[in-house]
Amino acid sequence: MKYQPVIGLEVHVQLKTNTKIFCGCSTQFGASPNSQTCPVCLGLPGALPVLNKKVVEYAIKAGLATNCAISPRSIFARKNYFYPDLPKGYQISQYELPICVGGHLDIDGEWGTKRIGITRIHMEEDAGKLVHSDIPGLGGGSGVDLNRACTPLLEIVSEPDIRTADEAVAYLKKLHQIVVYLGICDGNMEEGSFRCDANVSVMPVGSDKFGTRTETKNVNSFRFVKQAIEHEIERQIELIEDGGKVIQETRLFDPNTGETRSMRGKEEAHDYRYFPDPDLVPLVISNDWVEDTRLSLPELPEAKFARYQSDLGLTPYDAEVLTATRELAEYFESCLTAGAQPKMAANWAMGEVTRGLNDAGLSISDCPVTPLQLVELLQLIEKGTVSGKIAKTVFDELWQNGGTAAKIVEEKGLVQVSDTGEIEKIIDEIMAANMGQVEEYRGGKDKVFGFFVGQVMRASKGKANPAVVNELLVKKLKG
């Protein structure tokens, strides 16, 4: 029998606010345990939550960028369960009335363009974490670090519209790109700022009834998501083929084996006893707030991708590479603003600049060559002052020591020679010294032409204008 997988994703996005969702504590990553806590995030008796407005603003942004409707009234609920890293014994989340509903994203790939529905986006607080190790003073026991408790999260829940692991990854990458573009998430998957739970089930092809699903928790890289989903599809099909039954359970992905495994020994019935949190009043969002936020949104990758092709005449490939991150796109656009030709700026941004950053392990925000410096260099190429080849030398110099392109060209004497008299003189000398080759060429051996070009360029220290060299060489060699 043929099987059809059905996949839905729940993505947790940690928001890049300075303070936590319900108190004023810092959200900085990596501080010493429990140094960023207060009565509210510690869940001490008597403490009360107060909503961070920035979190709401970020949630509205995420909603607008994913084509959701923003609810004029939404409600925080308590999700009750016991765990030592959950200080209050409940997590404040949204349940029945979330802030964003009914959106979608279009993903492109070998399948063409496909629309993935977004059921909802809601705001919630994170829990703390347990530390199991030989911490001094703990006597070999476990410790609770509540620095992360109460940090703001968005949970973005997709419809079960995804059918393959590749679609899942395309959807995730798109979502990741959007939240990073919006500046609401640092996108750091290793630190868990962007992580995903994958709901996977399989059903016979042609069936309209979904199979029993499993939920694989907290997968934190695109590669792992692909592996986890593929493994889960395979496992479920094998199980059914062998006459078994998929049980609804929570599973973990093990990056070492590339497999998923059951997180809990037996099926566990959870009753979270959700109810509206009486400590927080209903969240009312005015239309003005939504519209102001809409105006503050940056141009999103999809729109940029389209514009780069239609307005700037770039190829789909170039447009995709340049819009991959907001920073690269901004670098590129700064070059245009400074007067560069789009295609040339694109080539350099994708070529020398990206290469240099990769080699140095830098991010584009730390690029030593500014758009202004680069554009000056590009203009020297356009004017014919330097060749493309020499320009790369100049670029390296800019990268290493700074300065301006014009100054480097002048100081190092790198100005391109287009003077026919000067070039002719060099050609004559080289022909005189290599009469054998001249004869060969004249005897019909065209390949020797390259030898002469090389000799002339070497003699001119690369400064001779290649176009002029070619033209004169042909004339002279043919006699």
Partner 1 sequence: MELYELTIHEMNELLKARKVSSVEAVQSCLARIEATDTRVNAFITITGDEALKAAAAADQQIAAGNIHSLTGVPLALKDIFVTKGIRTTCASKMLDNYIPPYDSTSWLKLKDCGAVMLGKLNQDEFAMGSSCENSAYGPTRNPWNSECIPGGSSGGSAAAVAAQQAIATLGTDTGGSIRQPASHCGCVGLKPTYGRVSRYGVIAYASSLDQVGPVTRDVTDAAIMLGTVAGHDPLDSTSVAMPVPDYTRSLLSDVKGMKIALPKEYFIDGLDPDVQKAMDAAIETYRKLGAEIVEITLPHTDYAVACYYLIATAEASSNLARYEGVRFGHRAAEAKNLLEMFMKSRAEGFGAEVKRRIMLGTYALSSGYYDAYYLKAQKVRTLIMQDFLKAFEGVDVILTPVAPTPAFKIGEKTSDPLQMYLSDIFTIPVNLAGTCGISVPAGISQSGLPIGLQLIGRPFGEETIIRAAYAFEQATEWQKQKAKL
CA nearest neighbour of 404 among 424, 378, 433 = 378
- What is the phi-psi region of residue 417: left when phi exceeds 0, alpha when psi lies from -120 to 50, beta otherwise? beta
3 state DSSP class of 232: helix
**Sole binder of partner 1 in the list 46, 137, 361, 436 (CB under 8 A):** 46
Give me the residue label for tokens 């509540």: 146
50 is an interface residue for partner 1 by CB under 8 A? yes
CB of residue 49 vs partner 1: minimum separation in angstroms?
7
Which uninterrupted H or E stretch holds 233? helix 222-241
**26 vs 460, beta carbon nearer partner 1:** 26
**Sole binder of partner 1 in the list 29, 210, 222, 275 (CB under 8 A):** 275
CB atoms within 10 A of CB 134: 8
Q: Which stretch binds partner 1 (CB under 8 A): 269-277, 288-296, 377-385, 448-456?
A: 269-277
CA dihedral (183, 184, 188, 189) positive or negative: negative
Q: Are 275 and 66 in contact (CB under 8 A)?
A: no
Q: Which stretch binds partner 1 (CB under 8 A): 101-109, 216-224, 276-284, 427-435?
A: 276-284
Which uninterrupted H or E stretch holds 322? helix 316-323
**Sole binder of partner 1 in the list 80, 341, 347, 470 (CB under 8 A):** 80
**32 vs 113, beta carbon nearer partner 1:** 32
CB of residue 283 vs partner 1: minimum separation in angstroms?
10
Q: Within positions 124 to 163, which residues make up the interface with partner 1, using CB under 8 A?
A: 144
**Sole binder of partner 1 in the list 190, 268, 271, 311 (CB under 8 A):** 271
CB of residue 77 vs partner 1: minimum separation in angstroms?
10
Contacts 24+ apart (CB under 8 A), 402-409: 402/368, 402/373, 404/373, 404/376, 405/373, 405/376, 405/377, 405/380, 406/376, 406/380, 409/380, 409/385
Q: Which stretch binds partner 1 (CB under 8 A): 80-88, 194-202, 313-321, 416-424?
A: 80-88
Q: Within positions 278 to 297, which residues make up the interface with partner 1, using CB under 8 A?
A: 278-281
CB of residue 140 vs partner 1: minimum separation in angstroms?
15
Distance CA 115, CA 378 (A): 41
What is the contact surface with partner 1 in residues (CB under 8 A)? 39, 42-51, 78, 80, 82, 84, 87-90, 144, 271, 273-275, 278-281
